[in-house]
Structure 1
Amino acid sequence: MKWRVVLEPDPETGEWAVWCPELPGCTSAGDTEEEALENIREAIQLYLETDSIKLAPGAIFREVMVG
C-alpha cells in the first residue's frame, strides 16, 4: 500500500520532519531523509494497527462502507 508523505528539512538542526497527510497525527522525523522515511513507515504501520475493543453487553459491532 502506498501513502503520500511530506518531508521538510529543519534549517537549524539539519534534521528532517515527515508526516502523512491522510493520517492525522501520523508524524515522525530523522537525522537524514532516508532515516525519516524509514521512521514514517514504522509510524504508519503502528497507526494502522487495530486495537481490540471491549464492548458493553448488548453492544453490536458493525462495519460501514464510505465512498
Structure 2
Amino acid sequence: MKLKILFHQAEEGGFWAEIPGLPGCISEGDDFDETLANIREAAEGWIAVATDRALSREKSSEKAQVAEIEL
C-alpha cells in the first residue's frame, strides 16, 4: 500500500508529518528520517485499529437487520 505523507517543518525544530488519507494520523521527529520512521509506525497502528474496529462492527452487525429504502 502506498500513502502520501505531508512533511512540515516544526516551529520548534524538527518535522511533523500527516497522512491525509488516514484522518488523525500524525507524528513528529527531530529530523526527516526519524519523522519518516515515526509516521510509518503511526500508519501501521492506525490501520490495525481501523481493521479491528471494522471486524468488530462486522460481528455486531450479524445481529442487525438490513433494509433498503428508496428516496
> TM class by shorter-chain length?
0.7 to 0.9
Extract structure 1 runs of 4+ deviating beyond 6 A: none
Give TM-score scaled by structure 1 length: 0.74
Deviation (angstroms), 1:27: 0.4
Query: Where do 5+ consecutive residues of structure 2 fail to align?
Result: 66-71
Give TM-score scaled by structure 2 length: 0.71
Corresponding residue of 1:22: 21
RMSD between aligned residues: 1.8
Aligned residues: 59
Corresponding residue of 1:8: 8
Which has the larger Rg?
A: 2
Structure number having the greater helix percentage: 2
Query: Where do 5+ consecutive residues of structure 1 fail to align?
Result: 61-67
Partners of 1:39 and 1:27 in 2: how far apart?
A: 9
